[in-house]
Homo-oligomer: A and B are copies of this chain.
Amino acid sequence: MNIYQYPQKSDWAGIIRRPVLEKKNLRATITEVFEKVKNDGDSALQYYTSKFDGVSLDSFKVSQEEIEKASNEVSDELKAAIQHAKKNIETFHRSQEEETKKIETVPGVECWRESRGIEKVGIYIPGGTAPLFSTVLMLAIPAKLADCKQIVLCSPANKEGAIDPAILYAAQLCGITEMFKIGGSQAIAAMSLGTETVPKVYKIFGPGNQYVTAAKELATELGLAIDMPAGPSEVLLIADQQAVPEFCAADLLSQAEHGADSQVVFISTDETVFKETLLELEGQLSQLPRKELAAKAIENSRFILMESLDEAFELSNCYAPEHLILAIANPEIWTGKIRNAGSVFLGNYACESAGDYASGTNHTLPTNGFAKNYSGVSLDSFVRKVTFQKLSEKGIQNLGKTIEIMAEAEGLFAHKNAVSVRLKSLES
């Protein structure tokens, strides 16, 4: 744990420096996987699934039976919770639909844009210790709202050849019909290239380990789009005198438990809150099942005492956190100060887990400082906005001369002529 008391501004850069992600050179490995999947299709997937996941599968496609079985295995309590979260996520993402606004920029010249869902999208859900059914909701719900025609989900099978029932339940609840038991870079390769059973998609979403990340990078070079660059999860919490140390500690730990590389930054303008949060943290940490992971993240965490909220927001903007929690009085009056952040949580009752699961906002957010240049996933991520324009005779007459002059000045005479022939036809 690194503690800084009223640091000089000149020290800020050092304090908020993120560890440089060691990008292992996986290029050769990933290229080989893509080559093999391209050449051998499903049999390459079989080969890698056996090699990397240690399971031999006759068929990758999750059957209707498996989906029904999964649904029976999920408790009614969890089903109800997932449905509740789904409803909220739907409500918020539906509010992101853009109304078509026809704008008459010049009399007779109408411009507007319309959204179109990306026709084919892929969702990757990692395996591992935690079954990330919440990520299924965060990606499948906006994909459906966006009217994506084909939504493909890949997730690795466990040793028994199955995907966690909660993942399958969430997927079918959201209307996904094509689910495949494929993991790792071979899953990304399959969705990028297409095989006998896995459809090729245009954009791939979802988290994953370094192999998945490297495979998504390679996919972009093949012309696919991806949700955003990857990095470890992070939170920055700003607390003033009215913050509740118990809550602050719990929020910091909920970030820390993601993994040893999770980034945790705590800023307080109040010494008592600062000290008590540190104490609370130790107490709560010892109770956690994932305390080893969380303890490692806390070791690298930064606790900063600062003079003022103005300073705190300035530092936060430099850091550009994925999650920003404002445990301060009247947080709304401070939001104008926020320039760089993924998702912001206001007040003592907006814990990060609310946004992670069920409030309605998306939890796929820019990490590693990417909040400076990327937005989190939203309905926008699943659509393209197509522009339209209509010119009447009057429209081209009003705008024609301007276009002709500009085209000529750029030396593009065919561009000019496309206007001239129309203007001339209207003269007669």
Q: Answer yes or no: A422 CB below 8 A from chain B CBs.
A: yes
Most chain B CB inside 10 Å of its own CB: which residue of A101, A225, A386, A421? A386
Q: Does A257 sit within 8 A of B, measured CB to CB? A: yes
Asked if A412 CB lies within 8 Å of chain B CBs, one says: yes
- A8 contacts B by Cβ under 8 Å: no
Those of A332-384 within 8 Å (CB) of chain B? 332, 335, 338-362, 366, 368-376, 378, 380, 383-384
Q: Tell me whether A385 is interfacial, beta carbon within 8 Å.
A: yes
Interface residue A134 (Cβ < 8 Å from any Cβ of B): yes
Is A82 part of the contact surface with B, judged by Cβ < 8 Å?
yes
B-facing mask of A17-33, CB < 8 A → 1, else 0? Answer: 00000000000000000
Complex Cα gap A353–B419 (Å): 7
| Contact with A415, one of B119, B353, B387, B419 (Cβ below 8 angstroms) | B353
Does A197 lie at the interface of the complex (its beta carbon under 8 Å from any beta carbon of B)? no
- The answer to whether B415 touches A133, judged by C-beta atoms less than 8 angstroms apart, is no
Rounded to whole angstroms, the CA-CA distance of A288 and B13 in the bound complex is 57
Contact between A405 and B359, CB atoms less than 8 A apart: no
Interface with B: A36-44, A54-62, A88-96, which one? Answer: A88-96
> Closest Cβ of chain B: how far from A293's Cβ, in Å?
10
Q: Which residues of chain A from 131 to 173 have any CB-CB distance to chain B below 8 Å in the complex?
A: 131-134, 166
B-chain residues with CB within 8 Å of residue A250 when the two chains form the complex? 414, 417-418, 421-422
Stretch from A103-111, A178-186, A268-276, A300-308 that touches the partner? A103-111
Whether B346 pairs with A410 at a CB distance below 8 angstroms is no
Interface pair B389/A350, CB less than 8 Å apart: yes
What residues of chain A have their CB less than 8 Å away from a CB belonging to chain B? 77-78, 80-82, 84-85, 87-88, 91-92, 95-96, 98, 101, 103, 105-106, 109, 111, 113-114, 116, 118-119, 129-134, 166, 202-203, 223-225, 229, 244, 246-247, 250-251, 253-254, 256-258, 284, 287-290, 294, 331-332, 335, 338-362, 366, 368-376, 378, 380, 383-393, 395-396, 399, 401-403, 405-407, 409-419, 421-422, 425
Given A288-B414, A349-B391, 11 more contacts at CB 8 Å?
A91-B103, A113-B378, A130-B411, A246-B421, A289-B411, A331-B390, A340-B384, A343-B386, A352-B415, A361-B387, A378-B387
A-B contact pairs, 17 of them (CB 8 A): A81-B401, A119-B372, A130-B411, A131-B411, A223-B369, A223-B370, A257-B414, A289-B411, A341-B386, A343-B388, A344-B387, A347-B392, A349-B391, A349-B395, A358-B402, A372-B384, A375-B383
Q: Which 9 pairs, one residue from A and one from B, show the smallest C-beta to C-beta distance? A: A105-B360, A88-B105, A81-B405, A225-B373, A250-B418, A346-B390, A202-B373, A353-B415, A351-B418
